[in-house]
Chain A
């Protein structure tokens, strides 16, 4: 190997390099004064270059600028996460609203119905037709309502003495006063106020009531007495819908 190649190899060497790999170079430096001089100059020059590299401007505000930029990034990310969470919550909120609507609306309707029933119990309307003729009363009632002049079979035993037009939850309705029980009256409503055909008892301030439906119409049995008295009356009359 000639000096030129050894001098090229000098540039691959650095302090801490694997000495074995550079042993041929060091052997040559031991026998070539010119190359040894160049190597010494190279090493010295390298040290000077290193020192020069360490000389560069200060940037006193750089650290605070980076930290402030990072804080901004984090704030933006937090905002993004909040928006994302809001979007994720939107279906939940919508579901809650639906549940509230579905759950609360019937409650509100029922409260309104109760108030109207209470009003009918405390202030019964003036009868517009006074007769005990069941057929005549039912035909009169059928004219005010939509549907046939008939009652469910479980009301067959009940006799009436008069009727009046009323309104329940904005639906057309007729109130029939019972003949043999002054405290009782029947409201026939031209709408379905309950989803099933079971009795729904209500205790209002001046009496009790029982609501049921036959699918098309709803019936409210009003009674100026306790709930027990109402049930006793219903049993007596065979009202077991």
Chain B
């Protein structure tokens, strides 16, 4: 499929914010998120002929972002290495912030909860909540079977709610063994 430069630039304008947001919650770092988003668009541009349908561009871009994320963390960077100050700074008024009346503590708590999750659960969870992608779209972006995505998401949501002291029942908490033990 031929994709012209003008079309691709329009995609950058349309989806850079989305990719940055996903990368931000995946990494917990604004700097890493910017780096990942840029790299994802650069890789996407180089491999734009691999896109099969224009309608699937969003999932395709998210898939490339996920690939870049794996590359970044294979190179030795991990979420655990990101200083908490950066996460707090990213959630504070120190930078221009896209907020919808969300409590700063909620934001920080979410960061910390995500930090406790392993990548297998964090990646689909962010896609689930952040963009509200369907299970199928998440499965395609992560290149996972639909059943695997559903089971991982179910478990990830339990862990997240438990971590955020949500409505998880003691029995469920006991069943999953507590987030910190995962």
Contact = CB atoms under 8 A, between A and B. Distances in A.
A56 B150 contact: no
Contacts of B9: 67, 70
B166 A42 contact: yes
A55 interface: yes
Interface string B37-80: 11001100110000000000000000000000000000000000
B154 A8 contact: yes
Contacts of B16: 62-63, 66
Interface residues of A, number: 34
A59 B161 CA distance: 29
Interface stretch (A44-52, A120-128, A145-153, A171-179): A44-52
Contacts of B98: 54-58
Contacts of B25: 53, 56
A45 B166 contact: yes
Contacts of A74: 5
B20 A62 contact: yes
Interface in B90-106: 90-91, 95-102, 106
B132 A59 contact: no
Contacts of A45: 161, 164, 166-167
B34 to A, nearest CB: 6
A7 B172 contact: yes
Contacts of A56: 20-21, 24-25, 90, 97-98
Nearest to A63: B16
Contacts of B42: 66, 69-70, 73
A3 B158 CA distance: 15
29 contacts: A7-B172, A8-B154, A8-B172, A8-B175, A11-B158, A41-B166, A41-B167, A42-B166, A45-B161, A51-B101, A52-B102, A53-B25, A53-B110, A54-B102, A55-B97, A56-B90, A56-B97, A57-B24, A57-B96, A57-B97, A57-B98, A59-B33, A62-B34, A66-B37, A66-B38, A69-B38, A69-B42, A70-B12, A70-B41
Interface of B: 5, 8-9, 12-13, 16, 20-21, 24-25, 30, 33-34, 37-38, 41-42, 45-46, 90-91, 95-102, 106-107, 110, 126, 128-130, 132, 150, 153-155, 157-158, 160-161, 164, 166-169, 171-172, 175
Interface of A: 3-4, 7-8, 11-12, 14, 38, 41-42, 45-46, 48-60, 62-63, 65-67, 69-70, 73-74
